[in-house]
Structure 1
């Protein structure tokens, strides 16, 4: 069996505030192969972003750890580029300059000025933003801003590309166009990608595997599903594909079942609180 390129091993995460400790993640184990596209999906509050931030080095796990290409993750680094739902562009810099700042930080010692400029232009062309080099973020659309954010991440040549709901704030048509762009780029570059999403169709369309998280607290990986659909993928053709709809049904069933259990637990707790209140009233 091939060795994992990204290994998440026995990761726990607790947050402590005002002396109270809340368990967020428990025993997260995941092996990701080089060039694989992984989606994390689950209900809000299940710790998806926490997993991504631990891989990015922005958070340190309470237990366990992460290894990327044989090296332990202890801090942020250019080998892991993160694209947020919010584009996070610097508003006073042009499109070109927003990518340039990442390239200068990463390649100042290894590429000449001419090579760095060529590399910036190459990555902006890859996301079809070569026509807007001198525009400020305020002068381009939300979808264009996200394209620039993706170009900036790719320009760092990361070993792992981390996407935190990168299309969540976009309208449906723009989201579809960017999903297609990401599929095209990933096919060209063979990036290793880990993406958070709430969109079941997006997860099935883009992923090689879908990692389904249980609800928190103490969330963990509930199920991992292989998506064995041939690439390149055509969203129109897949709409009537029995395998696509099977995968979609499996994810929806998992999420529905987890939500139903949460609602059942909430109802039982509410009934218990109501019973305690009635007993207290009787005693009074």
Structure 2
């Protein structure tokens, strides 16, 4: 597999005074263009730290990240991040929250009319064009997250990074957004790296699931290929043996292998 995103021997330690905390050790992962990969693991295993390194928000202690052949060493519009908190600007409308990113990235390459059309196109992708004139305080949590996803997509990033994007939402809203993300991925063929704690979410959305060992000094324990054809329908998958087998394999890693590893340490 040719790696569009290449995470090479990443290590991360934090030092505070004389105390040294080893968070990640020798993390190696390649992701192909158009692939949807989820990272799952127990709290404290460095999932978000790894995502922040890929996003260029922090620099790793050792190793490097390459995206499309270029070293990642700072933030950039080629990597858009969707956090659990939507981070919308409350004084701007839905349209304005997306437009501010579009103006920043495409201010020199698209004229005003083109930028307007591009904002509306991305709002339509997440089914939020009807609410373009509303402010964040006037819409639901799920709608806010849709706007956050639209803003990220509007930057036309090479990779979409998602850090538990649905973790703060109720189950029904979460399911609707998962379906929307699958629709968008099918339409755009974009490359996605997502952090999640939810086993069912990981199996439903992913081409591969990366399972992290427990921290400190966490690394990749196993990588599971998900043998489910796309498009995927959650109701049809409920009785799919391959879905059930994938789910069990992730659960076994999280709750059996790691328990024994911790007990033996």
TM class by shorter chain equals over 0.9
The reply to whether residue 34 of structure 1 matches residue 33 of structure 2 is yes
Between the aligned partners of 2:212 and 2:64, the Cα distance in structure 1 is: 18
CA RMSD after TM alignment: 1.1
Match of 1:236 in 2: 235
Match of 2:217 in 1: 218
Match of 1:100 in 2: 99
Task: Assess if the C-alpha contact under 8 Å between 1:26 and 1:219 holds in 2.
Answer: yes
Match of 2:60 in 1: 61
Q: Which deviations, in whole Å up to 9, do the C-alpha atoms of 1:194-229 show, x marking residues without a partner? A: 000000000000000000000000000000000010
Aligned-pair CA distance for 1:17: 1.1
State the secondary structure of the residue aligned to 1:247.
helix
Alignment of 1:181-196 (within 5 A): 181-196=180-195
The reply to whether residue 143 of structure 1 matches residue 136 of structure 2 is no
Match of 1:279 in 2: none
Alignment of 1:137-216 (within 5 A): 137-216=136-215
Aligned-pair CA distance for 1:258: 4.3
State the secondary structure of the residue aligned to 2:99.
helix
Show structure 1 runs of 4+ deviating over 4 A. Answer: none
Between the aligned partners of 2:120 and 2:96, the Cα distance in structure 1 is: 11
Normalising by the residue count of structure 2, what TM-score does the alignment of the two structures yield? Answer: 0.98
Q: Which deviations, in whole Å up to 9, do the C-alpha atoms of 1:231-274 show, x marking residues without a partner? A: 000100100000000000000000002442366369xxxxxxxx
Between the aligned partners of 1:16 and 1:262, the Cα distance in structure 2 is: 26
Between the aligned partners of 1:193 and 1:257, the Cα distance in structure 2 is: 28
Structure 2 unaligned regions, length at least 5: none
State the secondary structure of the residue aligned to 1:45.
coil
Task: Assess if the C-alpha contact under 8 Å between 1:210 and 1:227 holds in 2.
Answer: yes
Match of 1:130 in 2: 129
Task: Assess if the C-alpha contact under 8 Å between 2:213 and 2:258 holds in 1.
Answer: no
Between the aligned partners of 1:259 and 1:137, the Cα distance in structure 2 is: 41
Between the aligned partners of 2:78 and 2:38, the Cα distance in structure 1 is: 19
> Which of 1 and 2 has greater Rg?
1
Structure 1 unaligned regions, length at least 5: 267-284
Alignment of 1:70-89 (within 5 A): 70-89=69-88
Between the aligned partners of 2:260 and 2:170, the Cα distance in structure 1 is: 32
Task: Assess if the C-alpha contact under 8 Å between 1:215 and 1:258 holds in 2.
Answer: no
